[in-house]
C-alpha cells in the first residue's frame, strides 16, 4: 500500500548575519530558509532507493512577504506541503512562521524538477514517488 508523504517542518535558527540594517531578516535570506526546509522535506520524501536528492533542481520560487522576522523571534519555522505533481515536477507550498508567536512571515511557492544527473533535461518522476506525492496533495 502506498503511503502519503507527510508535510515537512524544519526549524531554522535566525542568525545575526541574517539581519539587514533595520534588524529584520533580509529578504534574500528567506530563500535560504526555504531551501533548508525544502531539502529536509525532500530527503524525507524520497525514502530509500527511489531517486537521489541531487536529481532535483529548483526551477521557480515566488515569495510573498507578510510580516518581518527579527532575531527576537528566535527561529524561523519552515513548512512544506505538496500543491501539485506533474510528469517531472513537484509544486510545493512553503511557509515561514516565527517561532515566537507562530505568525505567518512569508508564503512561497516552489517548483522542483526531477532531472538527469547532468541537470540538462527533465526526467519523469519514478512511479512510486509520484503515487506517494499525489496522495500527499494538500487541500
Reported as a single tens digit per residue, the pLDDT across 60-98 is 999 999 999 999 999 999 999 999 999 999 999 999 999
pLDDT at 31: 98
Reported as a single tens digit per residue, the pLDDT across 23-53 is 999 999 999 999 999 999 998 888 765 567 7
- Asked if 26 contacts 19 with a C-beta cutoff of 8 angstroms, the reply is yes
pTM recorded for the entire structure: 0.92
Cα–Cα distance, 109 to 38 (Å, whole number): 11
Reported as a single tens digit per residue, the pLDDT across 101-113 is 999 999 999 999 9
88: left (phi over 0), alpha (psi -120 to 50) or beta: alpha
CB atoms within 10 A of CB 14: 21
The domain defined by 8-135 folds into Thiol Ester Dehydrase; Chain A (3.10.129)
Q: Within its chain, how far is the Cα of 71 from the centroid?
A: 22
Amino acid at each position: 500500500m502506498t503511503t502519503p508523504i507527510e508535510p515537512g517542518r524544519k526549524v531554522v535558527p535566525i542568525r545575526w548575519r541574517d539581519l539587514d540594517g533595520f534588524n529584520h531578516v533580509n529578504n534574500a535570506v528567506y530563500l535560504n530558509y526555504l531551501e533548508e526546509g525544502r531539502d529536509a522535506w525532500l530527503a524525507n520524501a524520497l525514502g530509500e532507493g527511489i531517486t537521489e536528492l541531487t536529481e532535483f533542481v529548483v526551477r521557480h520560487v515566488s515569495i510573498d512577504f507578510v510580516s518581518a522576522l527579527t532575531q527576537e523571534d528566535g527561529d524561523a519555522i519552515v513548512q512544506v506541503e505538496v500543491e501539485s505533481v506533474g510528469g517531472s515536477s513537484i509544486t510545493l507550498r512553503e511557509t515561514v512562521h516565527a517561532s515566537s508567536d507562530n505568525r505567518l512571515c512569508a508564503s512561497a511557492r516552489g517548483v522542483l524538477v526531477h532531472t538527469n544527473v547532468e541537470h540538462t533535461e527533465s526526467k519523469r518522476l519514478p512511479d512510486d514517488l509520484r503515487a506517494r506525492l499525489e496522495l500527499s496533495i494538500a487541500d
